[in-house]
Amino acid sequence: MTSSSRIRPPFVSDERTQLVGWFGMQRAIVHYKCEGLSDADAHRSVLPGSPLMTMAGIVSHLRWTEQTWFEVLFLGRPADGPQFAEWRGDGPEDLDMMVEGVPLARLLEEYERQCAVSDEIIAAHSLDEAGRHPDFTSAAASLRWMLIHMVEETARHAGHMDTIRELLDGAKGYY
């Protein structure tokens, strides 16, 4: 399980502590929403209009989204990964959410490892530093902007997970 807790950051602290604290809390909620879930339920679609919006699909998407923003856009590394398949022209949109047959435990481990890489990048750079990838206009954003966006992105999908989990087995709870 991730080392982040489901505790809000301090009311009074520096900007980085608050941003990283909120980010860590949302990541921890992702893990919490998956606790005790079977692989069958993790891959079960409960939203007819969004068949890829499964617990497993969201965990995978969040893993690849972290890689996109912090490794690719911020550091300028190659645009590798299933999330770039459509951009490269060699796969469908949302390939990062197509994880049928991949155990939830593996997806959570991969997400946790990616979060650790992201945390190292965030810790090593100024919040004012801009991204470097030459092929994406979003890379012009500052690390601060990317971090705020990722808090929003992770929280948004944690909210999806709230609903999906309740539809799967009735489990509820924010933190």
Half-sphere exposure for 160 (CA within 13 Å, toward CB): 20
| pTM check: above 0.75 | yes
- Across the chain, mean pLDDT equals 94
pLDDT digits (tens, 9 = 90+) for 94-127: 999 999 999 999 999 999 999 999 999 999 999 9
CB 129 within 8 A of CB 142: yes
Of 67, 65, 71, 78, the residue nearest 131 (C-alpha): 71
Helix (H, G, I), strand (E, B) or coil at 44: coil
Q: How far apart are CA 71 and CA 50, in angstroms?
A: 28
Q: How far apart are CA 124 and CA 18, in angstroms?
A: 17
**What is the CATH architecture assignment of 15-43+51-169?**
Up-down Bundle (1.20)
Give the pLDDT score at 3. Answer: 44
Domain ranges of the chain: 15-43+51-169
pLDDT digits (tens, 9 = 90+) for 7-53: 889 999 999 999 999 999 999 999 999 999 999 999 999 999 999 99
CB 66 within 8 A of CB 107: no
pLDDT at residue 175 tops 80? no
Burial class (CB in 10 A: 0-12, 13-18, 19+), 94: middle
